[in-house]
Structure 1
Amino acid sequence: MGHFAPQLQPTWESITLARFLRQLPPAIELVHDAGDRPVRWVEPSDMDDPTDYLMADELILTSGFPFLEHVEDQEWIDRFIAKLVQAQASALGFGLEPYFASIPETVRVACQRHGLSLLQIPTSVPFAAIGIAFAKLMEADGAAQLRSNAEANRALMRCISQPDPEQQLVATLSQRLKGSVRLTDASGQTRFSTTIASIAALDTAAEAQLVREAFQTTGPQPFALHHHDAQVHLAFPIRAAFSPSGQSPLLGALCVGFSRTPSAFDHHLITTALGLLEVLVRERVASSATSSQLATSLLFHSHTALDSLTLNHLTESIGSNTNQAVRVIVISPLSAAHATETNFHLAHVHALFDTRLAMRRDDHFIALTRTEPTPDSFERLKANGYLAAFSTPAQLESQLGEKLGELLAQASGLLPQMLEKQQCLDAASIPRTFTSLLPTQAGKQLAEEELAQILELPKARRDLYLEVLHGWLDANGSWDQASKNINLHRNSVRRHIATIAEILGKDLNQAQVRHDLYLALKFLTVS
């Protein structure tokens, strides 16, 4: 029975009881029609209770033997038929002879009462003939399915030669699956989509969660699944080629929605589309690593206004959203294990930031992008193994070429602080001061070296000298103002400042010395 039947295949899904009856000899009579149902297997059984061995949608054939001792026991027969219905049997085929000349009335009543289709099979039709008819129907459907698969695959392959292959693939896949299809980038933003009116779209939060789950899946055929009412939504990650380290950069996701349970044919078609999309997306985001780096390097070193042709090429190279400003970013891998895998990182940077303009510099990467520095994008970058420092935004116009050096300096200036804090940074949200550009730990270490002789003094004297020095520098060297700042007589301030200068061995009359000490005190107070 179900334990010995082949696993469900798409070739069987179109075989229903009504269709199967049309293939059988007309001598077989439909005694009770409880509605058309799928038939996935035909199984003879004369067991008193075969339900433990049934799978859904089986046509059960019986010689009537189980009913011999219970033919007048309506309650027993009702229980027998009810169990078949509970096991989701498609129908019961009752064979005449050698036990019964006609179907017992108790069996007919039970099938009507519980909604199970009942067939009367004459002695002229062996059970084996019914099984053979079912096998032939499966074989015919299998051949038709293979032809359909081949045509569907050819339709998908033809999309590759179109001017907009990804968009054509999405549209063709949707048509063949009769489902909604959406292609996203590595940030989960929709690139192309085709919807079906009968399939309700997921709300924004559920859709984003489905894509995040797909990005986190692993294995040879990973996907995320979401059931919504009677609908099924799937999301498949699209990845670049595996790197020597075994990790694979995310390039996007393919999301498919059905108003039914997807079949094996659907899965086969999605797998084909995923393979084609991976090739297309890799070409789009990776292009040539060498030419990409060369173009990026020339752009950052030009320092001149961009002509209209260059501006158009630049626009096409940094994403599809033309309404967003552009930023220069500096990207650092979190793991040193892949530091030498330039092509691996460039493919990932291209995908994560939807840009073709990226290059390697020392142990980090530089790129031009429209990606906005948000908490979500920071979280996504870190989840993918990267930290990034963003410059302030700039409009995509001819003068951008003259500003790129300044934007790069902004982002590069945040690199030490980003690495120290191990978090992504946005120049627009950080005050533009020299202090803000220095990494905290390095600045504090330098401050301790600068003020070492003071810090080595006993606590009471150390704290007094630090307070006096800070108050005097904060007052820009004014004795009266410093006296007010720290509530100490001006003569005492003078005397302490002279002592501090002697201890430090520095000339406090020099502006550079005072500036260095002021910065040192600032970092010394940072926890």
Structure 2
Amino acid sequence: MSSPPVPPLPTVPLGALLARTELGLRQLTGPPADEVPVHSVHTSELSDPYPYLLGGELLLTAGVHAPEDTGTDAYYDGYVERIVAAGAAALGFGVAPVHDTVPSGLVAACERHRLALVEVPEETTFSAVGRALWDLMTAVRHLELRRVTEAQQGLATAAARPDPVPAVLRQLAQRTGGFAVLLGPDGTEPQRAGAPPSEAAEAALADLVRVVRPATTRLFPTPASASDEVGGVQLSAYALGGSDGRALGLATGARAPGDHTIAGVAVVLLSLLQGEHQSTGDVRRSAALVRLLLGDGPGDAAGLLDAPGGWRVVHGTAQGTRPVPPLGTPLVDATGSLLRALVPADLDVVAHDGWTLGVSAPAGPGELRSASVQAGHALARARALRTPLVRHRADTPPPSLTALSDRPELRRTLRTWLSLHGSWDRTATALGVHRNTVRQRIAKCGVLISADLDDPDIRMELWFALRDLP
């Protein structure tokens, strides 16, 4: 009969509980106490507690269900058989208030079924036994968490070594006390670490690894992991992501609660280390980031990035929730509705729906900080003017009056409007037209010469240009 599953919690050897002298517990029969793992304490006076046991419990009873005049050898044998079938780890019997001693029939039944039997003295309450077990389990859980944390740190350090893959495998085998093997895409075995298990267990591990490797003829999805047990050896297999068939196999003598977490960290690291190589651009960007983190200046780091013509800095704000606009660069810092980006100077930055953008003039690696200030100012002007895109003035070509060469009425209106500092009424009076006519003509001028006539610098440049025209 297979053993029922037990909760995935840290276990405490029964011997550790017996060592608590204040409890006065005494084992009467059964396997050695240090070989009996206990998961929890459960109290029941039912004649058949089977439906209420999960497995791994120390079952406590005072024998209320079997008083002296009804308890027989046959009754105790059936009672213990059901407890063993439920997967209980041990039975604790309180000698008061129903029984003065542990019934001999119960002792004999526990001995026949190899169930650890513990005598609980009259002065020890069942709650005290439960509290003592939980104290021990808390200590074990703390140690297990510490072991997992140290294993994670060890695996991360191994992944940073010059030979990361074998280093991670060695750490995994050492931290779990087992054997680790890494299979390549073609099913070969390029790496292994730790003491190999028996031939039967190693063969079973190889079969288990095939379960998580993709197969073109399989009708169902390939599982990400699989587990088995052969001859007391715990076997696990994990797919390493992708579809190329890389997989990790692990064989351990026991399966501690934290081993799955440790193996999971190793799977993530090995998946990253065994994944596709970075592109040249990714490598250069990573190298630039490393230089910045190690204290190099922005100019040194930016020199690694592929932009021979320099950069433009773009600042932007979104109107509500908007996706990041495609600016043609991966160097984008988007946080909420704010955006900052480095765009190669040879790429044209255009307006995007739902975004207000400010663009700097082209800048070299050592001028990016100043370019960021330019982009910030341009964004402020864009928001003030309610226009989707404003470029830094030095990056904006001077306005051309060529489009007005055959429109004398527009040139005259624009010159008059500029000379009167943008006053609609005074310009209308000077020209003898309605103020709405002035507005329409000025708007037409702005469209034809592609200039922002609200910008005082643009107005100044137009004023000087118009002075030389008839």
Partner residue, 2:29: 32
Among candidates 250, 261, 274, match of residue 268 of structure 1: 261
1:279 shift after superposition = 1.9
> What's 1:410 paired with?
none
Identify which of 237, 252, 256 aligns with 1:235.
Answer: 237
Query: Does structure 1 residue 215 correspond to structure 2 residue 213?
Result: yes
Alpha-carbon distance in 1 for matches of 2:130, 2:221? 39
Matched ranges for 1:10-21 at <5 A? 11-12=10-11, 15-21=12-18
Judge conservation of contact 2:212–2:225 (CA < 8 Å) in 1: yes
Higher helix share: 1
3-state SS of paired residue (1:216): coil
Q: Deviations over 1:38-93 (max 9, x none)?
A: 11111111001112222322111001101116545221122212222333322221
Aligned-partner Cα distance in 2 for 1:230–1:58: 21
Summarize the alignment of residues 120-139 of structure 1 with structure 2, pairs less than 5 Å apart: 120-139=119-138
Q: Would you say the 8 A contact 2:110–2:117 is kept in 1? A: yes
Amino acid at match of 1:213: V
Paired residue type of 2:252: F
In structure 2, how many angstroms separate the alpha carbons of the residues matched to 1:113 and 1:67? 19
1:74, 1:106 within 8 Å by CA — same for their partners in 2?
yes
Q: Helix, strand or coil: the match of 1:23?
A: coil
Equivalent residue, structure 1, for 2:244: 250
- Residue type of the alignment partner of 2:16: R
Please state whether the residue corresponding to 1:286 is helix, strand or coil: coil
CA distance in 1, matches of 2:30, 2:208: 42
Q: What is the identity percentage for the equivalent residue pairs of Structure 1 and Structure 2? A: 26
SS of the aligned residue for 2:240 comes to strand
For residues 207 and 28 of structure 1, do their structure 2 counterparts lie closer, same or farther at Cα, with a shift above 3 Å needed?
closer
- In structure 2, what residue type is equivalent to 1:34? P
1:272 to 1:29, Cα distance in 2 relative to 1, 3 A: same
The change in CA–CA distance for 1:200 and 1:87 in structure 2 (over 3 A counts) is: same
Q: Is contact 2:180-2:250 (8 Å) kept? A: yes
How far apart, CA to CA, are the structure 2 residues paired with 1:6 and 1:197?
A: 28
- The residue identity in structure 2 corresponding to 1:173 is L
> 2:279 maps to what in 1?
288
2:92 match: secondary structure? strand
CA, structure 1 residues 138+207, in 2 after alignment: closer, same or farther (shift >3 Å)?
closer
* Whole-angstrom distance in 2 between the partners of 1:54 and 1:190: 44
Residues in 2 aligned to 1:108 and 1:210: alpha-carbon distance in whole angstroms: 43
Q: Provide the TM-score with structure 2 as the length reference.
A: 0.53
Structure 2 letter corresponding to 1:215: R
- Quote how far apart the aligned CAs of 1:223 are: 1.3
In 1: Cα distance, 2:65 partner to 2:74 partner: 14
Q: Show the 5 A alignment for 1:90-109.
A: 90-109=89-108
Identify if the C-alpha distance between structure 1 residues 210 and 28 changes in structure 2 by more than 3 Å, giving closer, same or farther: closer
The Cα offsets for residues 164-210 of structure 1, whole Å up to 9 and x where unpaired, read as 01110011111111111112222222221114144436677x66654
**Secondary structure in 2 matching 1:102:** coil
Superposed CA deviations along residues 416-459 of structure 1, whole A, max 9, x for unmatched, are xxxxxxxxxxxxxxxxxxxxxxxxxxxxxxxxxxxxxxxxxxxx
Residues 1:105 and 1:236: Cα distance change in structure 2 (over 3 Å): closer
Aligned to 1:244: none
Assess if the C-alpha contact under 8 Å between 2:214 and 2:243 holds in 1. no
Contact 1:60 1:93 in 2 (8 A): yes
Displacement of 1:226:
4.8
User: What amino acid is the match of 2:269?
Assistant: L
Per-residue displacement from partner, 1:77-125 (whole Å, max 9, x unpaired)?
A: 2221222233332222111222122222222232233332222212211
Specify whether residues 129 and 202 from structure 1 end up closer, same or farther in structure 2 by C-alpha distance, changes over 3 A only. Answer: closer
- Structure 1 residues 211 and 97, CA, compared in 2 at 3 Å: closer, same or farther? closer
Alpha-carbon spacing, 1:45–1:199, altered in 2? closer, same or farther (3 Å): same
Taking a change above 3 Å as real, the CA distance of residues 291 and 92 of structure 1, as seen in their structure-2 partners, is closer
**AA paired with 2:167?**
Q
Letter in 2 for 1:126: T
**Alpha-carbon deviations, 1:394-425, whole Å to 9, x = none?**
xxxxxxxxxxxxxxxxxxxxxxxxxxxxxxxx
Whether the 8 Å CA contact 2:29–2:107 is kept in 1: the answer is: yes
Tell me the residue number matched to 1:114. Answer: 113
Point out the structure with max Rg over C-alpha: 2
Q: What is the 5 A alignment of 1:190-209? A: 190-200=189-199, 209=207
3-state secondary structure, aligned to 2:102: coil
Superposed, 1:482-493 pairs within 5 Å as: none
Structure 2 CA distance for aligned equivalents of residues 194 and 251 of structure 1? 20
Q: How far has the Cα of 1:213 moved from its partner?
A: 2.4
TM-superposed CA distance for 1:251, in Å, is 6.3
| CA offset digits 1:233-277 (Å, max 9, x no partner) | 3221112xxxxxxxx4436211112344x3331110011011111
Unaligned residue ranges in structure 1 (runs of 5+): 240-247, 293-527
**In 1, Cα distance between the equivalents of 2:245 and 2:71?**
68
Partner of 2:431: none
Unaligned runs of 5+ in 2: 284-470
Q: Corresponding residue for 2:321?
A: none
The residue matched to 1:137 in structure 2 has which SS? Answer: helix
- CA change 1:198–1:234 in 2 (3 A) is closer
Question: Which whole-Å CA distance do the structure 1 matches of 2:18 and 2:157 have between them?
Answer: 39
**Structure 1 CA distance for aligned equivalents of residues 82 and 37 of structure 2:** 18
Alignment deviations for residues 329-350 of structure 1 (CA, whole Å, 9 cap, x no partner): xxxxxxxxxxxxxxxxxxxxxx
1:23 is matched with 20
Tell me the residue number matched to 1:243: none
CA distance in 1, matches of 2:103, 2:229: 44
Change (3 A) 1:237 1:108: closer
Deviations along 1:334-393, one digit per CA (max 9) or x if unpaired, are: xxxxxxxxxxxxxxxxxxxxxxxxxxxxxxxxxxxxxxxxxxxxxxxxxxxxxxxxxxxx
> Closer, same or farther in 2 for the Cα pair 1:159/1:201, shift >3 Å?
farther
Q: Which amino acid is the alignment partner of residue 111 of structure 2? A: Q
Structure 2 counterpart of 1:22, one-letter code? A
Taking structure 1 as reference, are residues 28 and 225 closer, same or farther at Cα in structure 2, changes over 3 Å only? closer
Q: Which amino acid aligns with 2:15?
A: A
Displacement after TM superposition at 1:290 (Å):
6.1
**C-alpha distance 227-139 of structure 1, shift in aligned 2 (>3 A):** closer
Change (3 A) 1:22 1:83: same
**1:199, 1:258 within 8 Å by CA — same for their partners in 2?**
no
2:210 and 2:223 mapped to 1: Cα distance? 16
Q: Is the 8 A contact 1:71 1:106 kept in 2?
A: no
Checking the alignment, whether the CA contact within 8 Å between 1:71 and 1:104 is kept in structure 2 is no
Q: Answer whether contact 1:251 1:281 (CA < 8 A) is retained.
A: no
Q: 1:58-69 residue pairs with structure 2 within 5 A? A: 58-68=57-67
Counterpart residue number, 1:360? none
Deviation of 1:26 after TM superposition, in Å, equals: 4.8
* Equivalent AA in structure 2 for residue 267 of structure 1: H
How many Å separate the matches in 2 of 1:207 and 1:67? 48
| Partner SS state of residue 30, structure 1 | strand
